[in-house]
């Protein structure tokens, strides 16, 4: 059986709202409009306006209200129409949500989920195309989840809603309509994935590729191409950016001795940089080649199609990077 | 009998915005007035003591004192129950004490000790008392206003019949998110009372230099408001009782408390560059909240001047004893560095090589093993 990411998210919301009356959804256009991207379709009819709240366009205000409701013990799900708009509310996410349990020595926990599409969509320009994984992953007190498939979307969203801490749940607009095979287990209402565990999406022995969200699909395509050329790539779908599954990453690198990190976001101080440091700290002596990073270009997202395509990593970029670290192509250092 | 009701006129009539104001006649009793005197004097003494502890370098960082504004915390508390919630900004010591907070835990927190109300991890600006619905203690000016509306949202969601008192200063009154939250609170009829403690200076900026309209009780536009003499504990109580009933029926209201802080904004501010010493002395002389209650008690013969003086001496001893006890409290255990980052420690990053190398040796082996379990 197959399921779209959109239906996976919708069913996860539905099941968790049905299971726990303290769960509610708030955000712009989540109710009568059925969600800007239809993730909340049908929920207003089923749960009513007390539990599915259309907010005015006031991110700082409604995010603060969501966090306050979580202080009192409700389990809010705050939808950002896109994570770009969460910048209006980042103070509440960091100062009001992430730090309260610590500052109060455990008196005020904040069981809240902030979710919505993140990263580059297509042709929407600089202010609507940015990945916030590294931003939020920087902050202790937050958890940051990045689903790729329908299985991820269902299992991780349900885990996020049940979690006692604030969770940033980064979806990808371009994946909403994609279908993935799902097992009966995944479709069961009790299905839930552990937070902090990566998934080895494809096993391999020559090189490790770490990635998340939409880029998992690109890495799998790259691995397929590489296999035809005799390179066996292991693709790690991180699923959780914070906590980061350092054990899985390092175990894989110790097996393959080579690493390419792939992310869509800006390169500086990004997810790849953190993974690289983790491998340097724990598995340096296992490396047979310098680590390579594939990331978005260090520029605001351009509008023109050709420029946008260059700004975002492509399957080819991953293929070439893997060949370099496997010494099947001229290493990057030698071309400088 | 000390609980016999008496009626006292508030210092001035309430000014109101799109609502009929409550009566000026407040009901009280000998017992209540004596408890007001006691509670406000304790707060005053505690804040003066905090000033000394700060100057003795036993309190670090930021420290914002509440002396002068005591009638707001005490009058509000008299109008509500502990099932109702309170949230405030960083001038929070007395809100905590008013909610039944422990004096030793307050001083221990100020000094960063393990018996502090946040086990030394919050500091002056981050006091909480969850079991009495006191939600802090917030350091980002104005951010607590939407948070308080969220607490009220939860109260309404659960049909608790309780309300939230959401405090902010005249400085925060210009923050955009206040108006965002108020709009939603009004749309959704949340049981929230926005209490603007107008002490007339946002840090060193006089209200008229920061606000085109300093009539804060009117600034909700479509939300009703009352202007209250925040130096008159009975007026505060009267207004808060009225407001609680109002918001349960009709949604939010703004109470502007006209009050005054004797200290500067924080300990680095002598409080005398942007206002005159004469202004401060004049308020002490004419509007001091404790002296107002003292006069009432004496006028009604509920106690003698000597008895009140004895009570103040007793309070002084109580505060000194609490400080002595707080000083005995040890610093937090090093392992506390890593507690409460996450509820179940899932996601805690304690075993990273850089951390182990840098601070591992400072934490006892047993504790480290426990944290890495």
The predicted pLDDT at position B335 comes to 85
List, for residues B58-73, the tens digit of each pLDDT value: 999 999 999 999 999 9
Across the interface, which of A60, A104, A282 has its CB nearest the CB of B146?
A60
Q: Do A90 and A222 share a structural domain?
A: no
Does residue A276 form part of some domain? yes
What is the rounded end-to-end Cα distance, in angstroms, of chain B? 61
CA distances from B93 to A102, A182, B115, B128 (A): 19, 54, 15, 10
Does residue A194 form part of some domain? no
Tell me, what CATH number does A123's domain have? Answer: 3.40.50.970
Q: Do A295 and A156 share a structural domain?
A: no
Across the interface, which of A67, A104, A282 has its CB nearest the CB of B122?
A104
Q: Does B153 touch chain A (CB under 8 A)?
A: yes
List, for residues A254-271, the tens digit of each pLDDT value: 999 999 999 999 999 999
List, for residues A34-83, the tens digit of each pLDDT value: 999 999 999 999 999 999 999 999 999 999 999 999 999 999 999 999 99
Q: Provide the percentage of residues in chain B whose pLDDT is more than 90.
A: 90
Contact A106 B343 (CB under 8 A): yes
Place of tokens 């994570």: A83
The predicted pLDDT at position B361 comes to 72
Contacts of B147 in chain A (CB under 8 A): 64-65, 67-68, 71, 92, 96
Q: Does B270 touch chain A (CB under 8 A)?
A: no
Are residues B99 and B134 in contact, defined by beta-carbon separation less than 8 angstroms? yes
Contact A69 B151 (CB under 8 A): yes
Q: Does A63 touch chain B (CB under 8 A)?
A: yes
Across the interface, which of B130, B177, B340 has its CB nearest the CB of A60?
B177
The predicted pLDDT at position B358 comes to 81
Minimal CA separation from B174 to chain A, in Å: 14
Q: Do A254 and A283 share a structural domain?
A: yes
Tell me, what CATH number does A302's domain have? Answer: 3.40.50.920
- Contacts of B114-117 with C-beta under 8 Å, sequence gap 24+, read B114/B329, B114/B330, B114/B331, B114/B332, B114/B333, B114/B336, B115/B326, B115/B329, B116/B329
Are residues B112 and B120 in contact, defined by beta-carbon separation less than 8 angstroms? yes
HSE-CB of A104 using CA atoms within 13 angstroms:
28
For the residues A128-147, what does the mean pLDDT come to? 97
Q: Does A60 touch chain B (CB under 8 A)?
A: yes
Angle B77-B81-B83 (CA atoms, 0-180°, nearest 5)?
125
Q: Which residues pair with A169 in a beta bridge?
A: A115, A145
Q: Do A232 and A161 share a structural domain?
A: no
Contacts of A328 (CB under 8 A, 6+ apart): A229, A231
pLDDT range class, residue B348, cuts 50, 70, 90 = confident
Question: CA nearest B126 in A: which residue?
Answer: A103
Q: Do A141 and A271 share a structural domain?
A: no
- Burial of residue A284 (CB within 10 Å: 0-12, 13-18, 19+) is exposed
Interface test with A, best of B61, B86, B146 (most A CBs within 10 A): B146
Is the peptide bond prior to B137 cis by the omega test (within 30 degrees of 0)? Answer: yes
Which structural domain, as residue segments, surrounds residue A93?
2-187
**In the 8-state DSSP scheme, what is residue B92?**
-
List, for residues A75-94, the tens digit of each pLDDT value: 999 999 999 999 999 999 99
Q: Which of A187, A210, A234 is the last residue of a domain?
A: A187
Q: Provide the percentage of residues in chain B whose pLDDT is more than 70.
A: 97
Q: Do A179 and A204 share a structural domain?
A: no
How many CB atoms within 10 Å of residue B19? 18
Across the interface, which of A102, A108, A140 has its CB nearest the CB of B136?
A108
ipTM comes to: 0.96
Q: Do A221 and A156 share a structural domain?
A: no
Minimal CA separation from B339 to chain A, in Å: 7
Q: Provide the percentage of residues in chain A whose pLDDT is more than 90.
A: 97
The predicted pLDDT at position B156 comes to 98
pLDDT range class, residue A332, cuts 50, 70, 90 = low
Does residue A49 form part of some domain? yes
Q: Do A44 and A145 share a structural domain?
A: yes
Contact A105 B352 (CB under 8 A): no
Are residues B167 and B95 in contact, defined by beta-carbon separation less than 8 angstroms? yes
Q: Do A182 and A257 share a structural domain?
A: no
Does residue A193 form part of some domain? no
HSE-CB of B153 using CA atoms within 13 angstroms:
36
Q: Do A180 and A244 share a structural domain?
A: no
Minimal CA separation from B341 to chain A, in Å: 5
Q: Do A253 and A132 share a structural domain?
A: no
The predicted pLDDT at position B24 comes to 96
The predicted pLDDT at position B303 comes to 98
Rounded Cα gap, residues A321 and A333, in angstroms? 12
Domain ranges of chain B: 6-328, 334-371
Are residues B175 and B145 in contact, defined by beta-carbon separation less than 8 angstroms? yes
Q: Do A123 and A211 share a structural domain?
A: no
Contact A243 B148 (CB under 8 A): no
Q: Which of A166, A187, A208 is the last residue of a domain?
A: A187
Interface test with B, best of A65, A96, A112 (most B CBs within 10 A): A65
Interface test with B, best of A97, A105, A168 (most B CBs within 10 A): A105
The number of domains in chain A is 2
Catalytic-residue membership of A92: no
Are residues A7 and A179 in contact, defined by beta-carbon separation less than 8 angstroms? no
Does residue A221 form part of some domain? yes
Contacts of A143 in chain B (CB under 8 A): 342, 346-347
List, for residues B169-223, the tens digit of each pLDDT value: 999 999 999 999 999 999 999 999 999 999 999 999 999 999 999 999 999 999 9
String of DSSP letters for B102-158: -HHHHHHHHTT-TTSTTTTSS-TT---BGGGTEEEE--STTTHHHHHHHHHHHHHHT
Does residue A154 form part of some domain? yes
The predicted pLDDT at position B350 comes to 81
Does residue A192 form part of some domain? no
Catalytic-residue membership of A308: no
Rounded Cα gap, residues B109 and B60, in angstroms? 11
CATH for B6-328?
A: 3.40.50.970
Rounded Cα gap, residues B168 and B181, in angstroms? 13
* Residue of A15, A16, A28, A59 with catalytic role: A59
Contact B150 A69 (CB under 8 A): yes
Give me A304's structure tokens: 């023109």
| pLDDT exceeds 60 at position B373 | no
| pLDDT exceeds 80 at position B80 | yes
Does residue A99 form part of some domain? yes
Weakest mean pLDDT among A137-146, A301-310, B31-40, B341-350: B341-350
Q: Which residues pair with B25 in a beta bridge?
A: B9
Give me B57's structure tokens: 């370098």
């Amino acid at each position: 059986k197959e399921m779209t990411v959109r239906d996976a998210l919708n069913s996860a919301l539905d099941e968790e709202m049905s299971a726990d009356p303290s769960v509610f959804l708030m955000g712009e256009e989540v109710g009568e409009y059925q969600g800007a991207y239809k993730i909340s379709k049908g929920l207003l009819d089923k749960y009513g306006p007390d539990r599915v709240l259309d907010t005015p366009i006031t991110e700082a205000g409604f995010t603060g209200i969501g966090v306050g409701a979580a202080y009192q013990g409700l389990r809010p799900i705050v939808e950002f129409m896109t994570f770009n708009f969460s910048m209006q509310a980042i103070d509440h996410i960091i100062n009001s949500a992430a730090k309260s349990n610590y500052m109060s020595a455990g008196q005020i926990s904040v069981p809240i989920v902030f979710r919505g599409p993140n990263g580059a969509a297509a042709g929407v320009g600089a202010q609507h195309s940015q990945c916030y994984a590294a931003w939020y992953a920087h902050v202790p007190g937050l958890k940051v989840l990045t689903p790729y498939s329908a299985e991820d979307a269902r299992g991780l969203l349900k885990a996020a809603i049940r979690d006692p801490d604030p969770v940033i749940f980064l979806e990808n607009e371009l994946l909403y309509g994609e279908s993935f095979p799902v097992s009966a287990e995944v479709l069961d209402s009790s299905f839930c994935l552990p937070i902090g565990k990566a998934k080895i999406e494809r096993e391999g022995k020559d090189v490790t590729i770490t990635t998340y969200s939409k880029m998992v699909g690109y890495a799998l395509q790259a691995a397929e191409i590489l296999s035809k050329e005799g390179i066996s790539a292991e693709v790690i779908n991180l699923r959780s950016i914070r906590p980061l599954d350092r054990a899985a990453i390092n175990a894989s690198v110790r097996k393959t001795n080579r690493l390419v990190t792939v992310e869509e976001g800006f390169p500086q101080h990004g997810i790849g940089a953190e993974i690289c440091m983790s491998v340097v700290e724990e598995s340096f002596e296992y490396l047979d080649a310098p680590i390579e990073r594939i990331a978005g270009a260090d520029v605001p997202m351009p509008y023109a199609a050709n420029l946008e395509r260059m700004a975002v990593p492509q399957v080819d970029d991953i293929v070439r990077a893997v060949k370099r670290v496997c010494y099947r192509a001229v290493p990057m250092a030698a071309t400088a | 009998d000390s609980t016999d009701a008496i009626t006292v006129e508030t210092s001035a009539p309430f000014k109101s915005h799109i609502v009929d104001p409550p009566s000026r006649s407040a009901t009280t009793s000998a017992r209540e007035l004596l408890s007001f005197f006691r509670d406000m004097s304790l707060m005053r003494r505690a804040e003066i003591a905090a000033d000394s502890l700060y100057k003795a370098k036993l309190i670090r960082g930021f420290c914002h004192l509440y002396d002068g504004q005591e009638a707001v915390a005490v009058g509000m508390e008299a109008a509500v129950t502990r099932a109702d919630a309170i949230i405030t900004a960083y001038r929070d010591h007395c809100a905590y004490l008013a909610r039944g907070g422990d004096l030793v835990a307050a001083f221990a927190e100020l000094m960063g000790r393990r018996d502090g109300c946040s086990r030394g991890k919050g500091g002056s600006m981050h006091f909480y008392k969850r079991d009495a619905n006191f939600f802090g203690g917030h350091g980002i000016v104005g951010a607590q206003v939407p948070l308080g509306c969220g607490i009220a949202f939860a109260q309404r969601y659960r049909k608790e019949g309780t309300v939230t008192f959401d405090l902010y200063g005249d400085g925060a009154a210009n923050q955009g998110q206040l108006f965002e939250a108020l709009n939603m609170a009004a749309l959704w009829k949340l049981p929230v009372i926005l209490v603007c403690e107008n002490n007339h200076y946002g840090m060193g900026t006089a209200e008229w230099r920061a606000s085109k309209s300093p009539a804060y009780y009117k600034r909700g536009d479509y939300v009703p408001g009352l202007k209250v003499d925040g130096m008159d504990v009975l007026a505060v109580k009267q207004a808060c009782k009225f407001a609680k009933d109002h918001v349960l029926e009709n949604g939010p209201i703004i109470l502007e408390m006209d009050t005054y802080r004797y200290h500067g904004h924080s300990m680095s501010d002598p409080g005398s560059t942007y206002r005159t010493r004469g202004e401060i002395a004049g308020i002490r002389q004419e509007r001091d909240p404790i002296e107002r209650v003292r006069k009432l008690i004496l006028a009604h013969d509920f106690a003698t001047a000597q008895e009140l003086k004895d009570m103040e001496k007793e309070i002084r001893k109580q505060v000194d004893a609490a400080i002595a006890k707080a000083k005995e409290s040890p610093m937090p255990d090093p392992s506390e560095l890593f507690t409460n980052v996450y509820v179940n420690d899932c996601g805690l990053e304690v075993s990273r090589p850089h951390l182990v190398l840098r601070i591992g040796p400072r934490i006892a082996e047993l504790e480290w093993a426990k944290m890495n379990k």
